[in-house]
Structure 1
Amino acid sequence: MYRFLLSPRWVGLAVFAAFMAVACVWLGGWQWDRYHQRQAANDVTRGNYMADPIPVERALANGWSSKLAWRTVTATGTFQPEDEITVRFAQRGSTPGVDVVTPLRLTSGEIVLVDRGWMSASRTGEAPDDIPAAPTGEVTITGWLQPDSTADAAATTPTKGQVRAIDSSRWADLLGAEPLPGHIALTSPEQDGLKAPDEPDLGSGPSGFYAVQWYFFAGLAVFGYYWFVRTEVRERRQARLTRSA
């Protein structure tokens, strides 16, 4: 009754179903792993941005680490408005705008980039004419450490007072010195006319759902093969009974 399964057609169907099931299981495992990676990253982020602030020099004493993202830090120094840069196309929701990044020379002599906040701007990405001035004199700020962008040099090298993304290593020529890695997203004190950074996204993302979806497809491939075999057997039995009647 089941010898038909050895025919080229049914062998091909079995191979296809097995391939689909294995591929879907692999993709489901990959998405499940990404889901757990997201959870682990969220745990680090949650701990960092809720922690008591520490001086930025202390946080970056050993250079940048991925575990420093969203670490709450303080910095004391003087802003350098002459080296201020805007980040183009920094859209929030559906509103176009720019981020305003002003270097802060610390009392230690080092320089750290500070994203003072966001403001709406034209869709061309050009810097507005009414950017609020940075505080003068010595200030102490608080904010969240953010990593350097991995975008290419064309996007991160300051050109005509603007960049597309922030990479502190590209600011050395402008500043005449290598700034500390990453930058600070300023949360305090509030900057009149500028909006503070959004809080981190601690959602699980779609990976968990995608994993379940891929596992479902794997089961569907196996069930589909079983269904076709069952239907074929039933039709063959019916045909045999018809011939013998």
Structure 2
Amino acid sequence: MSRYRFLLTPTWLGWLALCVLFAVACAFLAQWQIDRREQALEEINRVVSNYDEDPVPYAEVRDLYDSPSAADEWTVTTVTGEYLADDTKLVRNRAHAGSIGYEQLVPFAVSGSEDIVVVSRGWLPTDSADGSLPAYMPQPPEGEVELIMRLKPAEPAIDRDAPEGQLASVDTAEYSAEIGEDLMPGAYGLMSSEDPAPEQAPQQLTRPELDEGPHLSYSMQWYAFGLLGFLGWGYAARIHARDQDLAEAEDTQGSEEIVHRAAGVSTQDRIREARRRRRLRSGQLSDEDIEDAWSEEHLRETPEAGGEQQPGDRNLRDQELRATR
């Protein structure tokens, strides 16, 4: 562990602290992606639960158009009444099938009550010559109409001006103030069908996609990024320790180079010897080192088994044996 003592220096502790801060930031970003995935799953569950259900009479769900909850979105409703076509409005900058256009809003007076519900009849493309106007403006059916619509919560106000006859969002409070009528404040209806059907109608908005998005994979990537910071710190520490060992081996080799040259030792053997000496000092001997030390000791005790040793070699081996004992 002594070779990694440098990890306790301020420099390396500072880099470790940066890795910790980076990991914390990555964890927050990963949790943010998980939260977005949960929101997407909630929207998918609402579509699955409500979108294709049988229509419910308006009288049974009237309170939902006054103050709906998130779980009530897409509730299918059937209602009878009459369009107030003179109060038609357009909501600008509405996306549909990759294009930007308008959503046509018309108040709908419910029969047998004083309620007026905002109905979105669908999407209109912009005029090719004048982008501030829709390409066409279909009129709603006259007289009594039976509607099937899906509940959508009213949208918040947007701090953005709109031309006369248009709204920046489906803000029922602003709509009510502009036409001077009390509209159901909490929700509006997204028209699915009209009876009688008109000759021309806006394009119906597409069914919401049941796609949770890539949020789960993004969250896993952020966790991986946080872990990579520590892996990079550890890898840098290992490289630094190795460089220190090599520098130490070169110093040892330089101090003993005269002795090795006198004994006729090759450069490769000197490097191998320097690494072996480093293992001796650290006490991390390999099986080969222990076997060599044992053989050398017995060769000194029985000179007839081998040739006469050089004094320099004998001194070196004595030091190695003392290190192993």
Asked whether the two chains share a fold, i.e. TM above 0.5, the reply is yes
Separation in structure 1 between the aligned mates of residue 109 and residue 23 of structure 2, nearest angstrom: 58
Separation in structure 1 between the aligned mates of residue 15 and residue 138 of structure 2, nearest angstrom: 67
Distance 1:127 1:199, change over 3 A: same
Distance 1:125 1:111, change over 3 A: farther
Preserved CA contact (<8 Å) 2:126 2:135: no
Separation in structure 2 between the aligned mates of residue 15 and residue 129 of structure 1, nearest angstrom: 60
The number of equivalent residue pairs is 243
Aligned-pair distance for 1:10? Answer: 0.8
1:33 to 20, 32, 35: 35
Q: Is 2:144 the counterpart of 1:138?
A: yes
The sequence identity of aligned pairs, in percent, is 28
Aligned-pair distance for 1:159? Answer: 5.7
Preserved CA contact (<8 Å) 1:119 1:193: no
Separation in structure 1 between the aligned mates of residue 132 and residue 202 of structure 2, nearest angstrom: 16
Q: Is 2:85 the counterpart of 1:77?
A: no
Q: What secondary structure does 1:88 align onto?
A: strand
Q: What secondary structure does 1:222 align onto?
A: helix
Question: 2:238 maps to what in 1?
Answer: 230
Q: Which amino acid aligns with 2:158?
A: D
Question: 2:26 maps to what in 1?
Answer: 24
Question: 1:109 maps to what in 2?
Answer: 114
Which piece of structure 1 moves more, 57-66 or 43-52?
57-66
Preserved CA contact (<8 Å) 1:83 1:174: no
Q: Which amino acid aligns with 2:192?
A: T
Q: Which amino acid aligns with 2:168?
A: R
Taking structure 2 as the reference length, the TM-score comes to 0.69
Which piece of structure 1 moves more, 22-31 or 12-21?
22-31
Aligned-pair distance for 1:30? Answer: 2.7
Q: State the superposition RMSD in angstroms.
A: 2.1
Distance 1:237 1:56, change over 3 A: farther
- Structure richer in helix, relative to its length: 2
1:147 to 137, 143, 153: 153
Aligned-pair distance for 1:4? Answer: 1.0
Taking structure 1 as the reference length, the TM-score comes to 0.90
Distance 1:32 1:19, change over 3 A: same
2:49 to 23, 47, 55: 47
Runs of 4+ residues over 4 Å off in structure 1: none
Separation in structure 1 between the aligned mates of residue 104 and residue 145 of structure 2, nearest angstrom: 17
Once the two structures are superposed, residues 72-119 of structure 1 have per-residue CA deviations (whole angstroms, 9 ceiling, x without a partner) of 112210000000001122232443321111110001220001111112
Once the two structures are superposed, residues 178-231 of structure 1 have per-residue CA deviations (whole angstroms, 9 ceiling, x without a partner) of 211221111113652410111113210232122011011011111111111111
Preserved CA contact (<8 Å) 1:89 1:98: yes
Gaps of 5+ in 2: 254-325
Separation in structure 2 between the aligned mates of residue 240 and residue 84 of structure 1, nearest angstrom: 86
Q: Is 2:252 the counterpart of 1:244?
A: yes
Once the two structures are superposed, residues 99-140 of structure 1 have per-residue CA deviations (whole angstroms, 9 ceiling, x without a partner) of 111110001220001111112113765333741110011111
Preserved CA contact (<8 Å) 2:124 2:136: no
Separation in structure 2 between the aligned mates of residue 61 and residue 200 of structure 1, nearest angstrom: 24
Question: 2:173 maps to what in 1?
Answer: 169
Q: What secondary structure does 2:178 align onto?
A: helix
Gaps of 5+ in 1: none
Separation in structure 2 between the aligned mates of residue 164 and residue 16 of structure 1, nearest angstrom: 45
Separation in structure 2 between the aligned mates of residue 39 and residue 224 of structure 1, nearest angstrom: 35
